[in-house]
């Protein structure tokens, strides 16, 4: 059903906003600045440090926008950002909390599922479920296995040094609360995947 008086006004506004955000992605790593002025672009004094969550959490919105506008640039820049973060993971397959978008060096090497990292995990799985892109699933599986191995200290999760796995913060924070919901999505996906494999 289509509203007769509607002529994609919201889509045009969304595309305009996304175009104004694109300058944030103009970095050597492809990982975006943490903020951008919607009129003037990235301020010359803008911090070069951004969070992992900030760098990996426009995948769904920009991916959908690319499909609705037939403009691949939005999905392309967000995928490049995810790849930029993942390519700088530690040998333990862990990512830190903050990274320099110019040098690619981790400025905070605490790995966890909460503050500054949370939605990086979340969007990897959701991007696969929404777009069917196997690369997102692969990264999620590797990151999830590492999180369960190094971060899970029964009954909950801690933050560790991304290189050594040594605990640096043993306390719960509220931004970790999404994790059980993510695991529910993962289990639903696995159940459906197994069921379909028996049908076909």
Query: Within 10 Å of residue 6's Cβ, how many Cβ atoms?
Result: 9
d(CA 171, CA 117): 16
Q: Sort 78 into a burial class: Cβ within 10 Å, 0-12 / 13-18 / 19+.
A: buried
Predicted confidence at residue 105, as pLDDT, reads 98
User: Can you give the length of the chain in residues?
Assistant: 200
Going from the C-alpha of 125 to that of each of 36, 52, 187, 199, the distances in angstroms are 27, 16, 11, 24
d(CA 136, CA 37): 30
Alpha helices in the chain (DSSP H): 9-21, 52-55, 59-69, 73-86, 118-131, 134-150, 179-199
Asked if the model's pLDDT at residue 73 lies above 80, the reply is yes
Q: 26 is written with which tokens?
A: 């103009």
Q: What is the fold, at CATH topology level, of the domain defined by 9-199?
A: Glycosyltransferase (1.50.10)
Asked if the model's pLDDT at residue 112 lies above 90, the reply is yes
Question: Which of the 8 DSSP states describes residue 41?
Answer: B
Predicted confidence at residue 7, as pLDDT, reads 87
The domain limits of the chain are: 9-199
d(CA 54, CA 69): 23
The mean pLDDT of the chain is 94
Asked if the model's pLDDT at residue 56 lies above 80, the reply is yes
DSSP 93-113: S---SEEETTT--EEE-EE-S
Query: Within 10 Å of residue 80's Cβ, how many Cβ atoms?
Result: 16
- Chain mean position to CA 8: 28
Mind listing the pLDDT tens digit for each residue in 132-167? 999 999 999 999 999 999 999 988 999 999 999 999
Question: Which of the 8 DSSP states describes residue 39?
Answer: T
Q: Poorest-confidence range of 48-57, 73-82, 170-179?
A: 170-179
Predicted confidence at residue 196, as pLDDT, reads 63
- Residue 125 confidence class, pLDDT cut points 50, 70, 90: very high
- Phi and psi at residue 119, to the nearest 5°: -75, -10
Asked if the model's pLDDT at residue 194 lies above 70, the reply is no
Question: Which of the 8 DSSP states describes residue 32?
Answer: P
């Amino acid at each position: 059903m289509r509203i007769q008086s509607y002529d994609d006004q919201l889509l045009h506004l969304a595309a305009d906003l996304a175009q104004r955000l694109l300058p944030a992605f103009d970095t050597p790593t492809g990982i975006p600045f943490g903020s951008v002025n919607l009129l003037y672009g990235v301020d010359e004094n803008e911090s070069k440090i951004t969070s992992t969550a900030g760098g990996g959490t426009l995948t769904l919105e920009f991916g959908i926008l690319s499909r609705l506008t037939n403009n691949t640039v939005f999905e392309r820049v967000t995928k490049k950002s995810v790849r930029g973060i993942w390519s700088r993971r530690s040998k333990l397959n862990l990512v830190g909390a903050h990274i320099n978008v110019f040098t690619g060096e981790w400025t905070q090497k605490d790995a966890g599922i909460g503050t500054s990292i949370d939605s990086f995990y979340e969007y990897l799985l959701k991007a696969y479920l929404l777009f069917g892109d196997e690369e997102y699933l692969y990264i999620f599986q590797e990151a999830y296995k590492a999180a369960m191995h190094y971060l899970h200290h029964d009954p909950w999760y801690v933050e560790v040094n991304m290189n050594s796995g040594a605990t640096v913060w043993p306390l719960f924070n509220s931004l970790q609360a999404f994790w059980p919901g993510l695991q529910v999505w993962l289990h639903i996906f696995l159940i459906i995947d197994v069921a379909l494999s028996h049908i076909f």
